[in-house]
Structure 1
Amino acid sequence: MEQPQRVLIGIGGGIAAYKVCEVISTLFKAGMQVRVILTDSAKQFITPLTVATLARHPAYTDADFWQPHERPLHIELGEWGDVFLIAPLTANTLAKLSYGIADNLLTNTVLASKCPVLLAPAMNTEMWQQVAVQRNWQQLLTDTRFHGLAPGYGLLACDRIGAGRMAEPAEIVTGVQSLLHTGGERDLLGKRVLISAGGTREYLDAVRFIGNPSTGKMGLALAQAALHRGAIVTLVHAPIEESVPPGIRAIAVVNAEQMQQAMLENFPDADLTVMSAAVADVKPAAYSSEKLPKRSLPEQLLLAPVPDIVAELGRRKQLHQRLIGFAAQTGDIITPARQKLAQKKLDAIVANPIDKADVGFGSNFNAAIFLDFHGRQVEISQCSKLQLAHHLFDFVHGL
């Protein structure tokens, strides 16, 4: 059996500490081992008993730091973790880490560890925007060990609306999962990655359209994975169910023609393009800007073709660019994927089985077979869509 992944979490003294409870619970339910360190100020917002209950392991505090141990506690913890999450990261702890100060269990453990560290700051807008705080933040991120989830914009506990809101638990969990896969390596650092997502809608009238069940979850996972690996990410998405995380440039479209325009405009600057959107094959030949009465609906719907976006991208692809396609299929998924790989001039393709339980459209999970123009073939069994995204980028790295 594989060793469970181990996540060390440091909680700072801020009201956002309550959000970390969801992070701990989610990671534990995903089968990970979790250990938690609370600073003295963190205990003013959340109790050791709370996090110990959620992690199924006693929480560590500065009181434990000064107790005798067989080996120093900060050394044991620093060697134990595969990923170290600090959330909320306060201005105080940020300043200490940026200058290598170690005066409590949390900061000593950071210096005694080698694993990647994920930082999720949270503070009042005025505090976050201080020159000293921004200097410390930028300085810390020059160390490749540290990975940042910049705070978002919203209503803060001080009733101020502005920057400083800690990243939401789901975004933090995704960041942890990415680091567990990559070990903190940024193999796409500085690369421009263009991704399409979601199912396009081809409207008959103001309310009716031809579409498909795609929710855009796979495309979002690809965008997050690329971002976590250091890429500059642009996501062109049809209507999707989830919000696009911060740090990703998002371009919203509805139909295939709009998606084609956005993809063609951004394609020349892209080093890697992943066409994961489920683009419609046809559209109604006629469109009404008003809702048609039921009696006026045609008995036979005339259809017209829509642009073949990935084929056009294949024709325009330059030598330095890589183009990845998706092929959602039932039955034999490899033969049509190989044909599409060659016909569309792709560098690689993801063959998706959509006739299996709990994979593909709408699911949080996926399975696939990766094929490339060299003849390589790799099968990925059912896993989360974020994991599949990372497996794909690992595969593409071989190109």
Structure 2
Amino acid sequence: MARLDDAKDGLKAIAAHADALLDAYLNTQSRLLETEQNQPAIKSMLKHHLAWQIDPDEPVVLSRALTTTLDTLTRSYRISVANSEVGSLWTEMMRAVDDYQQAYVKGASTDADTFLGQAFELGFQLIESLRNALAGYSHYINSGFTEIRDLDLRAKANRRMVNRARDFNDVLESFDFEELDSKAGYNTELRLLLRKVIPRAIARCSEELNYAIGRLREMLHVINEQQIKTRLVEQVLELYERQDDYSPSLDSLDSIPQSLNKAPALLVGSRANPYHEGSALALAEIASKLETSGSKEVEVHTPEPVVDGLDAEEVELESNPIWLAAQNLIELTIQQNGVFSATKVYEQFDLPCSKELWLLGLVNAVNAIKGEHRNDIELRFVE
């Protein structure tokens, strides 16, 4: 009974200090910081062997059994906030790397080690957030949104998850790997983190995310087909209820237009990843089926001799009849200060263009006039 009572006391201690334990697990890498508020939680966890401390100067670390329990309990929360955390963790990690480089240049070794530790901690938090974000999409793919019975609500949840995955993919594509490479510096461990570990984690996450988006779109297409079939069944049942002598027949399909008797194509925007083995094989198969153009003979370019333009014959170019008619009408209007109809002018002269082109050319000619003469002409458009 004594051991059973100790177990109950341990569970009560976890419940009593739940806020401090959650804060330590989510924000401080399962470490209970030495603060006045955490003192009761530290004493209680050490008493029930749910935490350990090697050196008095080091923080108290939660036991593996307790962190496993907290990992299970906080899984849904971490998945829900993973998308928003990834971008902020990237920014904080890059800021910590900048602070480390500045401290290293100034010779502040203690501060440099502090900022370096922060950069590593934020980098591993970034990788963990990527895994948590993917876990959320895997859950929906495996479940197929079957926990939602109504098809309309199921389709709505599926669309919302597709949009969320697209937004997350936009965040991943905004990461600049060249910036990581430029800030790696000369520290071996930092170079390994920024040049290999994080880029590989992001590339793997992006690949799995694209697969998840494709599967979610396929699931949405299936749900849409289920909705169509459900509506069809409901309409047939309604006919049975309204007409006692109703019996379905294939002949009734003849009256349906052909355009309505075709299933819409599944539009899935896909992008090939040449670094993935499956995509590389698919691309090779597609490339092998493409038509290859035969070898073309290279034509030898023979330069033409240079001809002196002064010795060439003079060629007089004919003026544009539309432009000439517009200029004559403008000069006549300025000289006589009268009112003329552009439509009547077009009807009297046999111009080689349409009426609309003539009116457009006349307006352009008037707008091209410079000086005071432009203000002397007033254009009126009559429909």
Into which bin does the TM-score normalised by the smaller protein fall?
A: under 0.3
Given the two structures, how large is their TM-score scaled by the length of structure 2? 0.20
Q: Which has the higher strand share?
A: 1
Higher-Rg structure is 2
User: Where is the helix percentage greater, Structure 1 or Structure 2?
Assistant: 2
* Greater relative contact order (CA < 8 Å, ≥ 6 in sequence): 1
